[in-house]
Chain A
Amino acid sequence: MKKRLFIWGGVSCLVLLASIVISISMGAAQLPISQVWLILLHQIPGLSEWITVTWPESSEQIVMKVRFPRVVLAVLIGACLSLAGAGFQGVLRNPLADPFTMGVASGSAVGAAFLILFGLQITFLGAWSTPVVAFLTGLLSLWIVLGLANTQGKLQTETLILSGVVVQAFLGSLVSFMVSLSDQTVNEIVFWLMGSLSFRGWAFTYVLIPYLVIGGMVLVSYARSLNLFALGERQAAHLGVHVDRTKLVVLVVSTLLTAAAVSIAGIIGFVGLVVPHLVRLLVGPDHRILLPMSAICGGIYVLWADTLARMLLSPTEIPLGVVTAFLGAPFFAYLLKQNKRFRKR
């Protein structure tokens, strides 16, 4: 198991690193890949004296101020969403579960749409208003879903999913109502809903990192419990797993990861649904490998989706959520048709 984790992890980390560098070199001003390497290595404290500066100041500005933060943010958002997706699919044992199952996305959308509709985006917390409010309303929707699904201290999986769907439908209608109310600002709400990573500096990255690190560690520590869940909740209980505690912790952590990502980048669909499935096809169902691999591959996926989003119709940007679904859905459909093992599941 450990050997497989190191091999898969090592390979995917290399792909991730290469993707980061290649993506940074792409843009309105093309930079040579070797230059991007040197600029990045130059930032590492011990290495800077060994590297002579052969690039113009402007290149370093573009890399460090514009592209690198965006690329890192894309990787983090993708990792958060995929990790959350793997968590939801594992604990609900439902292939259709994704980060938005618990109604988090709609909850966040209600908060964001409300602020945008009344022009309050920058009133109380400056640029942070929308992310903070979206995060809080996202959590509120989780709280409602858990409250609905809770019957005498037990969380039944089917009830959870149904509660999520109900809350999502209700909140979704609220968002649509707000969109219909605002004639002039329609585009802004709709654009937020479709997700984007433009104009988000390092500060947002720093906010996401603790969520990803702590959330990731908690989920990985539950990996073996999730493996037992795959055999059925009763089997897991017989082997000494605290079924209800595991469910609650994994759901809450996955939701926090989702809410953090959504509040910063808007709703980026399909990543959390598809990436864990793809990884499962590659490495099998063992959550000890599946969870970390989902995080890395999710990062790679959103990174490339965002690169396409800013490159394809440059200087116009395509909404990120559009790209992720537009690429992901056909690819997923292809795999669905191809893979026999997958069809059985």
Chain B
Amino acid sequence: MINVRNLQKSYQDTPVLHGIDFCVDKGEFFGIIGPNGSGKSTLLKIISGVIKADAGDILLQEKKLHSYPRKELAKILAVLEQEGLPPVGFRVREVLEMGRFPYQNWLGEEKQDVASLIDEIVQMLGLEHLEERTLDQLSGGEKQRVALGKALIQRPQVLLLDEPTTYLDIGYQIQLMDIVRKWQKTTQVTVIAVLHDLNLASLYCDRILMLHRGKQISVGAPKDILQSDRIEAVYGTRPIVMEHPVHHLPQIILQSQV
């Protein structure tokens, strides 16, 4: 689905990414982890097409990412950002409709009936009671669900998540990730997620890419990536890694150095 080949990127002569090389298969949940400043967000911005790499290629469905016109790209690729949505006066339903922008002609019309599609997603995300509220009346968790709804209404084949759970409490974190996971299983979309929380990454990702100082440390299944030696080398702190009693996936427990 997505082929990243030998990607390089520098900001004013400071290299932020080099030698990034990996593939993401269709229907895969792919995680990107790494400490602050490791280049995760830059990598995601390049994959989403907002900024260009200095060298290397990204192939999306065997075609170069930059050969797609903006609107065509938005039909294939949707992004959920960490800040979600600003507190403006648009109603929730209006915001969800904005997700159809890439499909609309210049008059704002499209052939397909959108109302039923929106209803379906409203139901799936449990937004029924919020539809007529404006964004400035919603809590952070509610806004992030609306933002996810907007991305899903784009009907993408690839969903990019940029630390989507940063500002959410644990309840909303699991809720959001579960919605994405469930939706991904039914529609076979590809998800690429930059995640801060290693335990969440382990629970939801099929494979994880670990970045450190702009370099790709390794790519693999959670149990291969989340090992205490490796985490210590990259994050500078040695956690205890244990097996999750229910999911049988690695989970880390932090220890104080004092």
Interface residues of A (CB under 8 A from B): 221, 224, 227-228, 230-232, 234-235, 237-242, 280, 284-286, 288, 341, 344-345
Contact = CB atoms under 8 A, between A and B. Distances in A.
Given A234-B81, A238-B74, A286 B86 contact: no
Contact of A239 (B83, B87, B90, B102): B102
Nearest to B136: A344
Given A227-B98, A230-B90, A344-B136, A239 B108 contact: no
Given A231-B88, A238-B48, 17 more contacts: A224-B98, A224-B108, A227-B90, A227-B94, A227-B98, A231-B95, A232-B86, A234-B50, A235-B81, A237-B70, A239-B102, A240-B72, A240-B102, A241-B101, A285-B89, A341-B89, A344-B87
B149 to A, nearest CB: 13
Contacts of A241: 70, 101
A237 B99 CA distance: 12
Interface string B83-109: 101111110001100110110101010
A335 to B, nearest CB: 15
A341 B101 CA distance: 27
Contact of B106 (A221, A240, A242): A221
Contacts of A228: 98, 101
19 contacts: A227-B90, A227-B94, A230-B88, A231-B86, A238-B50, A238-B79, A238-B81, A239-B74, A239-B98, A239-B101, A239-B154, A240-B70, A240-B72, A241-B70, A284-B90, A288-B108, A341-B136, A344-B87, A344-B136
A231 B106 contact: no
Most A-side CB within 10 Å, residue of B75, B81, B104: B81
Given A227-B90, A286-B90, A288-B108, A238 B98 contact: no
A231 B102 contact: no
Contacts of B95: 231
Interface string B125-156: 00000000000100000000000000000100
B148 to A, nearest CB: 13
A89 B154 CA distance: 27
Contacts of B101: 224, 228, 239-241
Nearest to A238: B79
For the complex of A and B, 7 pairs with smallest distance between CB atoms: A240-B74, A240-B71, A240-B102, A238-B79, A285-B89, A239-B101, A240-B70
Contacts of A227: 90, 94, 98
Interface of B: 48, 50, 70-75, 77-79, 81, 83, 85-90, 94-95, 98-99, 101-102, 104, 106, 108, 136, 154
Most A-side CB within 10 Å, residue of B83, B89, B102: B89
Nearest to B73: A240
A84 B72 CA distance: 31
B84 to A, nearest CB: 9
A280 B98 CA distance: 19
B69 to A, nearest CB: 8
Contacts of A345: 87-89, 136
Most A-side CB within 10 Å, residue of B83, B87, B108: B108
Contacts of B102: 239-240
A341 B78 CA distance: 31
Contacts of A285: 88-90
Contact of A231 (B50, B70, B73, B85): B85
Contact of B70 (A234, A242, A344): A242
B95 to A, nearest CB: 7
A224 B90 CA distance: 12
B117 to A, nearest CB: 16
A234 B84 CA distance: 11
A280 B90 CA distance: 11
